[in-house]
Amino acid sequence: MRFLRASTAGIAVMTVLRIVSAGPGVTLQDGGRHGYLRFGVTAAGPMDPLAFATANAAAGAERDATAIEVSLGGVELAADTAVSVAIAGGAFRIEIDGRVLPHAAVATLEPGQKLAIRPGEAGAWCYVAVAGRLDVPKTLGSTATHTRSVLGGISGRALAAGDVLPLADPRILEPRLAALDVPWFAREGTAIRVVLGPQDDYFTEAAIAAFLAGPWTVSARSDRMAYLLEGARLAHGKGFNIVSDGIAFGAIQVPGEGLPVVLMADRQPTGGYPKIANVIGVDLGKLAQLRPGARISFAAVTIEQAVAARRAEALALSRPIAREPLVRSEFPSEFLLGVNLVDGVTADGTEEDARS
């Protein structure tokens, strides 16, 4: 097995990443369990697909490689071998042995060090991708955790203190410690873009206008399956029961009580409530990163606009991610926020290693 290496004593040992502590809702996710929706199997996968892809790209991992999705519960990790990780997502507080890192960073964990990721000033999900591979078994072709159907991850459950994740081909990235220049996390404004339908004809024009205008407040009962929205109830034009049909990521269904429910990564593959609109692909992560209490509205766009936004995002992701080596022991706040880092080195680390 490739994750075996010779120890100094000459005995093969397994290199691992250890979960020192984990709050509720920290899971392993890969690109998702695709191909089985027709059998009732949820795809799962990352809540913020862009942040997940960014972390894996920065780690030099496969696009859909298994990463740790950190919830607001936070996590502490340790490795028994030196290994680099890339971290991206919401504005979490990231520390290695007390040293605070930027919100999007490459960090190298030495044996004995502890990486702590806790909720910061904004954001609900953060991804830890490894330079190497988390070697966990696949179920139905995927490692994505779906706790409701007990599939993926470790025994189909969220990560917990004491879990040991086999680490294959651990590598060290240069520079060992760097801020990532990821301007696409700016995600300004509170409007979430949607394409209306497929059952917008179940709502009156006034209800559609009220739906778009909001404002909606993200409910504290939201989770990986659905974000529940609170606000003024919407009126259905012709009832709230439809013959069950497919549900896409970001579908916004409106059950009988009239409050929209946005179906997220752990959604059921089919359902029987009318869906007024669907969040566009590039705004899924923006919505996912909102915490309970956040206020939003919706903006209707065309399919063409939604596809153009996807194309722009794919182009940005296809370029090497610039990195700014971290050498200072203290950073000004604008540095920690990851802004103005356009002069950083490129992902292949062509500039000198700034460690000294």
In the complex, least distance from residue 314 CB atom to another protein, rounded to whole angstroms: 6
Which token pair is 77?
Answer: 């990790």
H or E, element range at 261: strand 261-263
Binder among 2, 5, 63, 311 for another protein (CB under 8 A): 311
The answer to whether residue 134 forms part of the interface with another protein (CB under 8 A) is no
How far apart are alpha carbons 329 and 322 in whole angstroms? 21
**Main-chain dihedrals φ then ψ at residue 317, nearest 5 degrees:** -70, -25
**Span near another protein by CB under 8 A; candidates 40-48, 64-72, 128-136, 328-336:** 40-48
The DSSP bridge pattern shows strands 275-279 and 251-253 to be antiparallel
Contact between 316 and 184 (Cβ < 8 Å): yes
The H-assigned helical ranges of 26-133 are 49-58
Residues 268-307, interacting with another protein (CB under 8 A): 268-271, 275, 278-281, 303, 306-307
Cα of first residue to Cα of last residue in the chain, in angstroms, is 35
Binding-site size for another protein (CB under 8 A) equals 45
Q: Which is nearer to another protein, 113 or 268 (CB)?
A: 268
**Span near another protein by CB under 8 A; candidates 80-88, 262-270, 318-326, 343-351:** 262-270
| Radius of gyration from C-alpha coordinates of the chain | 21
Q: Which is nearer to another protein, 209 or 303 (CB)?
A: 303
Write down how long the chain is: 356
Q: Which is nearer to another protein, 12 or 303 (CB)?
A: 303
Q: Coil, helix or strand for 76? A: strand
Binder among 246, 334, 340, 353 for another protein (CB under 8 A): 246
Residues 197-216, interacting with another protein (CB under 8 A): 197-199, 201
CB atoms within 10 A of CB 90: 24
The answer to whether residue 226 forms part of the interface with another protein (CB under 8 A) is no
Q: Where do contacts with another protein occur on this chain (CB under 8 A)? A: 34-42, 139-140, 148-149, 151, 194-195, 197-199, 201, 242-251, 268-271, 275, 278-281, 303, 306-307, 310-311, 314
